[in-house]
Structure 1
């Protein structure tokens, strides 16, 4: 997991290492290939390249695996970076969608036309969170005097049933209200 985080945070560095090791490998392979060609042609410069042959071999032996490793780290980092961006965008979209769904659910015309039910299908909030939001709006209407205590209790039960939230478990909104009352 630490390698993934490091790679995500250092994609340019990992890419630069991969390029550097690839260059080392390419130069080493070109030098070794040049020596082979010159030796096959029996050119005098082959003896000069022969003195560099151990360096070419070392560059190839070290460069190729390091190139592969750095390229893999760079790829993991790029994928982790893109994935983190996608998750952030998805969360932001989910929040915006929840806000839109909340507005649509409050609209009596949308409820009458069934649009509120359609929005619920696209709402990614948890059933508990949706129920809390809806109950919060009911409580605001109760405080404004638009609902009686009996209507509030009845509609709260309906909301819990519609969202599939068990009535035994108090909502987090109720916990916050109780905490506020104690303060």
Structure 2
């Protein structure tokens, strides 16, 4: 009787080992390039509430400090170009912004905030624009003056405008 118990135990162990072994790959499926069937996932899926955002690297923009926007083409470089477009497109301000960088000082970089301002040739003081990029917080800010009336824009409805942009806005009497 003990022998029957040992024999039964050997059969159970053998069945477990053979049952857990992966099936041999079919040579025909390997030759035709067919993918093996997917394994079954026993985990229940739950909608993830975290939405990752890709943070753009502004490090390459640090090289623009002290240079003029016209010579660097900074406004046409990604990710700045697409983010300006997205920010101003809904307000239909996109063409107004770019044309206001005819006359500009060199680009400034202070405390990880990239800043520049400009105006339309022969209309400085009335038709201007300013750009600030907080590279640490990854937020783009824009100011546009049309006939001396200023509108400020920011990504994510951020109201913590950089100091230089706030000072730029103060030079227009209609917005003080």
TM-score (norm 1): 0.22
Please say which structure displays the higher CA radius of gyration. Answer: 1
Going by fraction, where is helix more abundant, 1 or 2? 1
TM-score (norm 2): 0.22
Going by fraction, where is strand more abundant, 1 or 2? 2
More relative contact order, 1 or 2 (CA 8 Å, 6+ apart) = 1
